[in-house]
Amino acid sequence: MATLRLGDTVPDFKQDSSVGPIDFYQWAGDSWVVLFSHPADFTPVCTTELGKTAALSGEFAKRGVKPIAVSVDTVESHGKWIPDINETQNTQVNFPILADADRKVSTLYNMIHPNALANATVRSVFIIDPKHVLRTTFTYPASTGRNFDEILRVIDSLQLTDSHKVATPANWKDGDDVVIVPSIQDPKELAERFPKGFNPVRPYLRITPQPNR
């Protein structure tokens, strides 16, 4: 199975989940999606991650993002695990956990890495836009929990740069200055797009306040 690359249209699928059968494209609708995989139910790092995802439900919602998790265990196992997540993480899991017991989704998205985990999914993240295009991926080792601040930061960057002719510099966070893309050189267009002005540090490095702020 070929690895999904940035810019690829992600595969559609139908799979059971903790909230019933999921038809992925239909479920996603016109939202952004964060699809993230877990090696197994009742594992400590995964429990904290699913709890954090639930706790950030408002942050995902205001960005128009739907989170959905994947584990190779069954719906029955998920049903027993979710109360543990809710109790230990002081939250309520309010998003689907796919029950990928037949490894269908794991195989489609190349989540099985035999040199890392023989028959379970590695800890991957796929950020998918409303056109079902893969925009960002992360893959973590089983021992390292995901940084959800970074996931939200990347979503903010993607959504900003999709709507404005800018890019986000190192360590950028929502509200920080951004850089103007080099393709814009016409003075009239620059003035129209960036009425707050910009600092031309170099001809190719022009700093401007975040346009949507």
Alpha-carbon distances, residue 137 vs 7, 78, 110, 142, 196 (angstroms):
11, 25, 12, 16, 33
Sign for the pseudo-dihedral over CA of 125, 116, 98, 94 = negative
For residue range 52-104, list pLDDT tens digits in order: 999 999 999 999 999 999 998 999 999 999 999 999 999 999 999 999 989 89
Sign for the pseudo-dihedral over CA of 183, 188, 192, 194 = positive
The pLDDT assigned to 142 comes to: 79
**Domain 14-148, CATH homologous superfamily name and number:** Glutaredoxin (3.40.30.10)
Nearest 5°: the CA angle 78, 84, 33 is 55
Alpha-carbon distances, residue 102 vs 107, 162, 201 (angstroms):
9, 36, 54
Judge whether 113 counts as a catalytic residue. no
The answer to whether the beta carbons of residues 164 and 211 sit under 8 Å apart is yes
SS3 191: helix
Amino acid 99 reads: A
For residue range 21-63, list pLDDT tens digits in order: 999 999 999 999 999 998 889 999 999 999 999 999 999 999 9
Q: Which residues pair with 84 in a beta bridge?
A: none
Site of tokens 């699928």? 13
The runs of H, that is alpha helices, within the chain are 24-28, 44-55, 57-62, 75-89, 104-108, 148-163, 187-193
Residues in the chain: 213
For residue range 103-156, list pLDDT tens digits in order: 899 889 988 755 444 455 567 999 999 999 999 999 888 788 999 999 999 999
Q: How is the chain split into domains, by residue range? A: 14-148, 164-208
Selecting among 22, 28, 34, 46, the annotated active-site residue is: 46
Whether the model clears a pTM of 0.75, i.e. scores above it, the answer is yes
Break the chain down into helix, strand, coil percent, rounded to 5: 30, 25, 45
